[in-house]
Amino acid sequence: MTEETIRDILHQVAQGRIDVAQGMTQLRHLPFADLGFAKLDLHRKLRRGIPEVVFGEGKTAHQIAAIGARVTEAGQNLIVTRLDAVKARALRRKLKSLEYRAEARIGLIQNHPQPPIGHGTVMVLSAGTSDMLVAEEAAVCAEMFRNRVSRLYDVGVAGIHRLLAHREELAKARVVIVCAGMEGALPSVVGGLVGVPVIAVPTSVGYGASFEGLAALLGMLNSCASNVSVVNIDNGFGAGYVASLINRLP
C-alpha cells in the first residue's frame, strides 16, 4: 500500500464517503507485506520518514530480487547494503533498473528522485583510503535519505595537516561522520574542531591488535570530545541514517 493510497483512504473517511470501520478494513494490511521468507515493512517510510533498507549480506539474489520487486511495486526507492558484485550482476537480470555502487557495496533503484530536505550538509570523512568502503556506504545512504553530502577522504591523524587544510569546510557542516580504523583517533580530533554532532564509525581496518575494529570502537567510546557518539563497527548505513535524522531537525 503506497502513501498515496493511504492519503486517499483518509480523504474518503474525512469526506464521509466511507466510515471509520471501512477505512480500518482497508488499512488492515498496512504494517507489512508477507513474502513468506520475509515480512517487508512498507509502512516504515510513512511511520519514520525513511523506508526500510535491505541488508544484502546473507540473503540470496533471489530473495533480494523478490523484496526489491515488492518495494518498487509499492512506489518506494530500493536500497540494498552489503551487496557484492556477484549478487549485483544476478540482480540486474531481474531488476533491470538496479544501479550498483561498487565503492559503497550498495544497490539502488531510485523510482522518485527528490531534492534534499536536510537543513545543512552532512560531511563524511575517512581516516584512510582503506576506510572508504564504509565511508561511501554512509555517504550514499545519507544522499538517498535526501541530504546534501560532502566527502573528505584520507585525512587521518598520521598526517593531521591534511585535515587542518579543510577547517573552513568542516565548520560549515551540520553533522560530521568520521570513519576510522586502527586506533580510531580521528573522531576525537574532529570533535575538538567543530561544534556540531560527530558520528564516529569504527572500521575493521588495522593490524592484529586492532581486533577487527574493536580497538577503534573502544577508543571512540572513550573519546574526550563530548560531541562524539559512536555506531557499530563498519556500520556506515547506521551513521548515514542517524546523521539524516539530525540534519532534519529544525
Q: Are 213 and 204 in contact (CB under 8 A)?
A: yes
Q: Are residues 231 and 144 in the same domain?
A: yes
Q: 249 in the Ramachandran plot: left (φ > 0), alpha (ψ -120 to 50) or beta?
A: beta
- Cα four-point dihedral sign 152, 197, 136, 109: negative
Strands 99-101 and 106-109: antiparallel
Rounded to 5 degrees, what are φ and ψ at 126?
-125, 140
Residue 201 and residue 161 share a domain: yes
Domains: count for the chain: 2
| 85 in a structural domain | yes
Which pLDDT does position 29 carry in this prediction?
54
Question: Do 213 and 163 share a structural domain?
Answer: yes
pLDDT at 241 over 80: yes
Same domain, 127 and 229: yes
Boundaries of domain holding 83: 49-109
- Do 194 and 102 lie in one domain? The reply is no
244 shares a domain with 126: yes
| 126 and 96 together in one domain | no
Q: Do residue 201 and residue 224 come from a single domain? A: yes
Question: Is the predicted pLDDT of residue 1 greater than 60, yes or no?
Answer: no
Residue 214's domain is classified under what CATH number?
3.40.50.1970
Whether residue 1 is contained in a domain is answered as no
Residue 26 domain flag: no
- Do residues 143 and 244 both lie within one domain? yes
- Has residue 238 been placed in a domain? yes
Phi, psi of 52 (to 5 degrees): -60, 140
Cut 0.75: pTM above it:
yes
Give pairs for 209-212: CB < 8 Å, separation 24+: 210/181, 210/182, 210/183
Looking at mean pLDDT, say which of 17-21, 56-60, 157-161, 200-204 comes out highest: 200-204
Identify whether residues 126 and 231 lie together within a single domain: yes
Instruction: State whether 125 and 243 are in the same domain.
Output: yes
From the number of C-beta atoms within 10 Å of its C-beta (0-12, 13-18, 19+), residue 167 rates as exposed
Question: What is residue 75's predicted lDDT score, i.e. its pLDDT?
Answer: 76
**For residues 190 and 210, what is the distance between their CA atoms, to the nearest angstrom?**
21
- Share above pLDDT 70 across residues of the chain, in percent, rounded to a whole number: 95
Q: Indicate the residue among 61, 83, 109 that finishes a domain.
A: 109
User: Whole-angstrom Cα distance, residue 6 to residue 4?
Assistant: 5
Average the pLDDT over 225-247 and give the result: 96
Examine the domain organization and report whether 238 and 191 are in the same domain.
yes
